[in-house]
Amino acid sequence: MAPRRPIVVASKNGATALPAAMEILRRGGTALDAVEAAARIVEADPADTSVGRGGWPNILGTVEVDASIMDGATRRAGSVGAVRGYLHPISIARAVMERLPHVMLVGDGAMRFAREIGAERSRLLTPRTRGLWLDFLRQVRETPRSVLRRRELAPVVMRTVRLERKGTVNFIAIDRSGHMASAVSTSGWGYKYPGRLGDSPVIGAGNYCDERYGGACCTGFGELALRGLTAKTAVDRLAAGMPPEEVARAAIRDVNELDAPRPAAMNIVVLARDGGYASATNRRYTTLEKRERRRFSVMTSDMSEPLLLDRTLVR
Ligand code: GLY
């Protein structure tokens, strides 16, 4: 394969990690190494409340993280869900792909495997996210003790549906050899029911990469991408010859047809094998400050810093 111009496409919160990912690609590193390294940076950043350390806790105040990684060359994939106390779920997901005959581990099994491979432990709940969780409990007339003693958590979790407490980070890369990979990491739905998994660890829902055509990853209300198998459907549309911009729009149109409580934000980034990219969202932000949240990021090897672009709004 002729040498290719490396590129990484990410959700907006991935922009800070793009220079490090691009450095790996410029040096001839693999797309798989680049997306894993980028996800690790966001996972370790306590300022990002939707991923890794500093991510939203579940309704009981425990941060449970999910991640997945996919090698577009082989379509091998690894993922983990509902992992507690480990800093880099993306690296545990990669180890599932590379060291086990499995694709997905969750909960106690995933944590046992994390221990086996010597994955780095960390306290994921920060004073800031604990404070926000306590604020939420106050709003619904609960305390850490009362919620722990509840026989039914469902009524409290139902109060989280309209909260803007969702988010995730996405990365899709093409390396100099033309190989592709994608990575997704998240703390999932803020104040979720313990054990809830969203789209991020489910291959085909929040993450899919097949370098014969391209890759797609999602952020937002994961239940929608689970119901629509959004990432795989997007790659199928690339395979059918649809341009990335149309693919991204079609993905959000599909999501918008599902019945869901509003706001049910969904966003997608798409990277085609030829380097064409696009992103779309169904989230209409009215203020300039909030519009910032509607962006995605991209970096190619000839850029000195990432570009932030507006996602296409699909109503
Ligand atoms: N999109 C992330 C989640 O729903 O968990």
The pLDDT > 90 percentage for the chain reads: 90
- Residue among 68, 185, 199 whose CB has most ligand 1 atoms within 8 A, to mutate: 199
Distance from residue 4's CA to the centre of ligand 1 (Å): 32
What per-residue confidence (pLDDT) applies to 236?
98
Distance from residue 235's CA to the centre of ligand 1 (Å): 19
Q: What is the mean pLDDT of residues 134-162?
A: 94
Q: 118 burial class (0-12, 13-18, 19+ CB within 10 angstroms)?
A: exposed
Q: Which atom of ligand 1 is nearest to the CA of 196?
A: 5
**Cα–Cα dist 81/207, whole Å:** 14
Decide if pLDDT at 155 tops 90.
Answer: yes
**Cα–Cα dist 232/305, whole Å:** 30
Distance from residue 162's CA to the centre of ligand 1 (Å): 14
What per-residue confidence (pLDDT) applies to 186?
98
**pLDDT digits 0-9 by tens, 217-261:** 999 999 999 999 999 999 999 999 999 999 999 999 999 999 887
What per-residue confidence (pLDDT) applies to 260?
84
Domain range summary for the chain, segments of one domain joined by +: 7-313
What per-residue confidence (pLDDT) applies to 162?
79
- Residue among 42, 58, 221 whose CB has most ligand 1 atoms within 8 A, to mutate: 221
Judge if the beta carbon of residue 228 lies within 6 A of ligand 1: no
Residue 36 · residue 69 · CB < 8 Å: yes
Decide if pLDDT at 25 tops 90.
Answer: yes
Judge if the beta carbon of residue 297 lies within 6 A of ligand 1: no
| Residue tagged active-site, from 16, 49, 168, 300 | 168
For the domain spanning 7-313, the CATH number is: 3.60.20.30
What per-residue confidence (pLDDT) applies to 163?
80
Neighbours of 21 (CB within 10 A): 28
Residues near 14 by Cβ (< 8 Å), separated by ≥ 6? Answer: 38, 42, 169, 170, 171, 297
**Cα–Cα dist 237/159, whole Å:** 36
Distance from residue 38's CA to the centre of ligand 1 (Å): 18
Mean of the per-residue pLDDT values for the chain?
95
Judge if the beta carbon of residue 55 lies within 6 A of ligand 1: no
Predicted confidence band at 281 (pLDDT cuts at 50, 70, 90)? very high
What per-residue confidence (pLDDT) applies to 251?
98
| End-to-end Cα spacing for the chain | 40
Decide if pLDDT at 92 tops 90.
Answer: yes
Predicted confidence band at 167 (pLDDT cuts at 50, 70, 90)? confident
What per-residue confidence (pLDDT) applies to 289?
53
Distance from residue 5's CA to the centre of ligand 1 (Å): 31
What per-residue confidence (pLDDT) applies to 4?
83
Q: Does the active-site annotation cover 287?
A: no
Q: 195 burial class (0-12, 13-18, 19+ CB within 10 angstroms)?
A: exposed
Judge if the beta carbon of residue 81 lies within 6 A of ligand 1: no
- Residue among 68, 163, 165, 186 whose CB has most ligand 1 atoms within 8 A, to mutate: 186
Judge if the beta carbon of residue 200 lies within 6 A of ligand 1: yes
Predicted confidence band at 291 (pLDDT cuts at 50, 70, 90)? low
- Nearest CA, atom 4, ligand 1: 222
Decide if pLDDT at 287 tops 80.
Answer: no
Judge if the beta carbon of residue 189 lies within 6 A of ligand 1: yes
Instruction: Tell me the three state secondary structure of residue 48.
Output: coil
What per-residue confidence (pLDDT) applies to 285?
64
Return the closest-CA partner of residue 234 out of 198, 202, 272: 272
Which comes out higher in pLDDT, residue 287 or 199? 199
Reading the block at residue 3, the tokens are: 């040498």
Q: Indicate the pTM of the whole model.
A: 0.96
Distance from residue 120's CA to the centre of ligand 1 (Å): 23
Q: Which atom of ligand 1 is nearest to the CA of 220?
A: 1
The residue type found at 195 is G
